[in-house]
Chains A and B, each alone.
Chain A
């Protein structure tokens, strides 16, 4: 058992990416929830049958555009987008860290995971 051990800088780098992503997502989420409650707090909602979200809450471009105009639901949905993007950013950070350590095997493995992530995201957009 080693008595003392550092947390390596690389792990801290990965952790920093996570913190940044989470902070951005949370701040946007708070903003979104305040806007939603402010404008629609008393609205009655019914989720008992599935009708699916409107296109304005499904498409990346529309979400960002509407969020910039302070549309409450779009701001809220933007926070979800940021949340989804965070693990991908983390894997990307891992690739960079492994590259700095000249660990080619893990650069390859992490890149593979990253590519699958990106593909699955854009595949769904196309379909």
Chain B
């Protein structure tokens, strides 16, 4: 394949990756890896390196918009990121001790369950819930734009959310996939944060987590400029479009999109196990 062709294909694929990644809070990786591996026959090592950079680009491009508009919650992001980064380090350390196959199967099953939940459920009404003491002490409450005004929200079940973030970091260290999913699920389902706050805060966090491992992968030679640079450019523009769309998008539609995407990730995991 010539450099011309590879640049063009990757640029176009990344536009879609950035668009879906920014809206779902899952990052741009989920389209990039299959495109590279299955579509272009690229070795998985290069694909992992490229997808990691795609995640950082999605995160950075969308964060520009979401912080300004008041969707993502920087305090929640930083607070939970302490759990994720430590979890990721532990994951890398214990990764070789655990049976990856069974872990992948359990995780895939969990993803299908979550996809089913996200697809069927109309989210619980948040307004009735009282302020959570621990969340208040940790300043995890906030507000976000809704219907032209601002809606207050409070975080709940903080210890469980924190624990799940640790596991999220762990899994991303062990399996190299799926950290974004658990982040959104932990914030949305466990901590009862509004869906748009969950996805945008996840977008912020995955960039930080990915940056931690990107340095490592660069040093190991996984990151090739011919593959990554068109992806960075494509993903950035795709993310900008997604970020424009988010304020107008209905939460219900986003939730459905999220469900479809994580079912897709679960299938990817199963294929990985079988292969």
Interface residues of A (CB under 8 A from B): 1-5, 7, 11-12, 14-15, 18-19, 21-22, 25-26, 29-30, 32-33, 36-37, 40-50, 52-54, 57-58, 73, 76-77, 79-81, 83-88, 90-91, 94, 103, 105-106, 109-110, 112-113, 116-117, 120-125, 127
B211 near A88: Cβ-Cβ < 8 Å: yes
Determine whether B212 belongs to the interface, using a CB cutoff of 8 Å to chain A. yes
Q: How large is the interface on B (under 10, 10 to 19, 20 to 34, 35 or more residues)?
A: 35 or more
B208 touches which one: A2, A57, A87 (CB < 8 A)?
Answer: A87
Interface class of chain A by DSSP: helix
Given A14-B74, A120-B216: A53 touches B64 (CB 8 Å cut-off):
no
Q: Which listed residue (A3, A4, A44) contacts B1, Cβ 8 A?
A: A44
| Cβ contact of A73, chosen from B143, B212, B225, cutoff 8 A | B225
List chain B positions with a Cβ less than 8 A from chain A. 1-4, 6-7, 36, 40-46, 53, 56-57, 59-61, 63-64, 67-70, 74-75, 78-79, 81-82, 85-86, 89, 138-139, 143, 146, 149-152, 207-208, 210-230, 232-233, 236
Q: Which of B2, B149, B211, B220 has most chain A Cβ within 10 Å?
A: B211
Interface of B is mostly: helix
Complex Cα spacing A112 to B146, Å: 33
B197 → A minimal CB distance (Å): 14
